Amino acid sequence: MNINPKIVVLGAGSVGCFFGGMLARAGHDVTLIARANHVEAITKNGLYMDCQGFQEYVRIKAQSDYASLAHADIVLCCVKSPDTELAIEDIKPYLNKDAVILSLQNGVDNAERIARSLDNPTYPTVVYVATAMVGPGSLKHFGRGELVIGSLGSHADGLDDIATHFQNANIPCEISSNIKKDLWLKFLVNCSYNGISAIGQIQYGKMVSNQEILSLINQITDECLLVAEKEGVTITSEEARLANEAIGITMSGQRSSTAQDLAKGKPTEIDYLNGLIVRRAVQYGLSANANQAVYALVKMLEKNGIDNISQ
């Protein structure tokens, strides 16, 4: 790994802009691949980062094409889960064959899906951050901002160096010895919070102040734990409880990415969250009624739009 690696963020929405911006602010060579309106604003003014510890414009490169991937040492893949295969096929002609891919995506199977299409070293990355794009080239940070990286196989070449680059940019980054378990812990939190936040267009802190919602979260979690066990991942009820509670406290002002997508009339990732639990439950002969209910309601809103439901 180069001492000063070239870093490219593929699919630079709020998560990609936060971590890309933090790396650029620390002096790293970072290029954001983003939508045209964001590229225009960032190129003109810089990336505006309204973070808990600072508010400033950060100078960072941004473009809409894939040319920068030819020289990338590290690629942060931040595209939505449904777009993974298509995005990887699109970048293949441009991608540096030695680039390391980090999947900073929701869900538990994106890194595996990427690895099936590319020979590049690919590592799953668990993301804990509350962010939103509040305008072209403008990011709002609501809380946290740490990463957990690891290998699903026996090799993890270069992960120490990558973790150090993040840490030097004030991004806490841990190397996990059991990344699959860490993925599933974050995944069950996503299943517990994202869909409900989307249905109610509600912040996490307000969600968990409601006893009926807490009961639903517990039901969703229990179903996720049963499926995880079938997937070879053992998470205790206490570990799950602590993970869920932490999100309600540390990201109390956040509306989920699923809620943000619905509000903008965009497709969500629900098929790769609660929908995945529903499919795996059927595969294993388990019941996942709570996940099914949340999944069905989000799909209804996704199809008909939030504004149309009350009409």
Q: In Å, how far are 5, 55, 98 from 29, measured between CA atoms?
A: 7, 21, 17
Two tokens, residue 265 = 């009339």
Taking the domain 6-177, which CATH number applies? 3.40.50.720
The answer, yes or no, to whether residue 238 has pLDDT greater than 80, is yes
The model's pLDDT over 244-298, given as tens digits with 9 standing for 90+, comes to: 999 999 999 999 999 999 999 999 999 999 999 999 999 999 999 999 999 999 9
Q: What is the Cα–Cα distance from 90 to 130, expressed in whole angstroms?
A: 28
Average pLDDT, the chain: 95
List residues bridging with 31 in a β-sheet.
Answer: 8, 61
Strand, helix or coil for residue 156: coil
Give the pLDDT score at 154.
Answer: 61
CATH level 3 topology of 180-303: N-(1-d-carboxylethyl)-l-norvaline Dehydrogenase; domain 2 (1.10.1040)
User: What per-residue confidence (pLDDT) applies to 3?
Assistant: 81
pLDDT for the residue 211: 96
Cα–Cα distance measured from residue 269 to residue 266, given in angstroms and rounded to the nearest whole number: 10
Residue 1 is predicted with a pLDDT of: 63
Are 104 and 76 spatial neighbours (Cβ–Cβ below 8 Å)? yes
Asked if residue 309 has pLDDT above 90, the reply is no
pLDDT 10s digits, 191-219? 999 999 999 999 999 999 999 999 999 99
Domain coordinates in residue numbering, the chain: 6-177, 180-303
